[in-house]
Amino acid sequence: MDFTPHTEADVARMLTRLGLKSTAELFGHLPAGVPLPAEIAVPSPLSEPEVMQLVEGLASQNRSELICFAGGGIYDHFLPPVVRALTMRPEFVTAYTPYQPEVSQGTLQLLFEYQSMLCAATGMDAANASLYDGATAGVEAAGLAVAATGRSSIWLSRGVHPHTREALRTVLGARRVAIQEQPLVGGITAWSDATDSPPAALIFSQPNYLGVVEPYSTAVERAQQLGALTVSSIDPIALGVLTRPGEAGVDVVFGEGQALGNPMSFGGPVVGWFATTTQHVRRIPGRVVGATHDLEGRPGFVMTLRTREQDIRREKASSNICTNQTLNAIACLLQMAWLGPAGLAEVATQSAHKARYLAEALNRIPGVRPLVPAPFLREFALGLPLAAEAVVAAMAERGFLAGIPLGRDYPELGDGLLVAVTERRSRAELDRYAAALGEVVSAG
The pLDDT score that the predictor gives to residue 181 is: 97
Single out the residue of 107, 87, 93 nearest to residue 300, CA to CA.
107
Give the pLDDT of residue 1: 40
Please state, for a pLDDT cut of 70, what percent of the chain lies above it: 96
Last residue of a domain, one of 336, 362, 396: 336
pLDDT digits (tens, 9 = 90+) for 337-347: 999 999 999 99
Most confident of 24-28, 85-89, 112-116: 112-116
Higher confidence at residue 392 or residue 28?
392
Q: Which pLDDT band, with edges at 50, 70 and 90, does 103 fall under?
A: confident
> Domain of 410: which CATH number?
3.90.1150.10
Residues of 360-395 as b/e, b for ≥16 C-beta within 10 angstroms? ebbeebeebebbbebebbbbbbbbbebebeebbebb
Q: State phi, psi for 108 to the nearest 5 degrees.
A: -65, -40
* Pairing verdict, β 400-401 and 67-68: parallel
Measured distance CA(111)–CA(303) in Å, rounded: 10
pLDDT over threshold 50, residue 382:
yes
Last residue of a domain, one of 303, 336, 369: 336
Please give the average per-residue pLDDT across 56-74, as a whole number. Answer: 91
Report yes or no on 62 lying in a domain.
Answer: no
Residue 285: which residues within 8 A CB-CB, separation 6 or more?
128, 131, 140, 143, 144, 274, 307, 308, 318, 319, 321
Q: What is the pTM of this model?
A: 0.88
Res 307: pLDDT? 64
The β-bridge relationship of strands 400-401 and 369-370 is: unpaired
Mean pLDDT throughout 44-59? 92
pLDDT digits (tens, 9 = 90+) for 211-220: 999 999 999 9
* 40 in any annotated domain: no
Domain identity same for 319 and 427: no
Q: Give the span between the Cα atoms of 298 and 120, in whole angstroms.
A: 25
Same domain, 295 and 421: no
Residues 180 and 267 both lie in one domain: yes
Band (92; pLDDT cuts 50, 70, 90)? confident
Quick one: pLDDT band at residue 313, thresholds 50, 70, 90? low
Mean per-residue pLDDT, 262-277: 92
Give me the number of domains the chain comprises. Answer: 2
Average pLDDT, the chain: 93
Q: Residue 33: pLDDT above 90?
A: no
Domain-embedded: residue 14? no
* Domain-terminating residue out of 306, 336, 366: 336
In a domain, 25, yes or no: no
Q: What is the CATH number of the domain that holds 112?
A: 3.40.640.10
Residue 112 structural domain: 81-336
Kindly state whether residue 217 falls inside one of the protein's structural domains. Answer: yes
Tell me the pLDDT band of 408, cut-offs 50, 70 and 90. Answer: very high
pLDDT band of 85, cuts 50, 70, 90: very high
> Does residue 128 sit within a domain?
yes
pLDDT mean over 221-226: 97
Give the three-class secondary structure for 325: coil
Q: 105 and 72, same structural domain?
A: no
Report pLDDT for 4: 67
Domain assignment of residue 178, yes or no: yes
The alpha-helical segments, DSSP class H, found in 302-444 are 326-363, 388-397, 427-443
Comparing 232-246, 300-314, 365-379, the range with the smallest average pLDDT is: 300-314
Is the domain of 270 the same as that of 146? yes
pLDDT at 5: 79
Pair 266, 381 in one domain: no
Residue 2 has pLDDT above 60, yes or no: no
Lowest mean pLDDT among 9-23, 64-78, 211-225, 296-310: 296-310
Domain shared by 316 and 398, yes or no: no
* Residues 184-206: tens digit of each pLDDT: 999 999 999 998 999 999 999 99
- In this structure, are 160 and 122 located in the same domain? yes
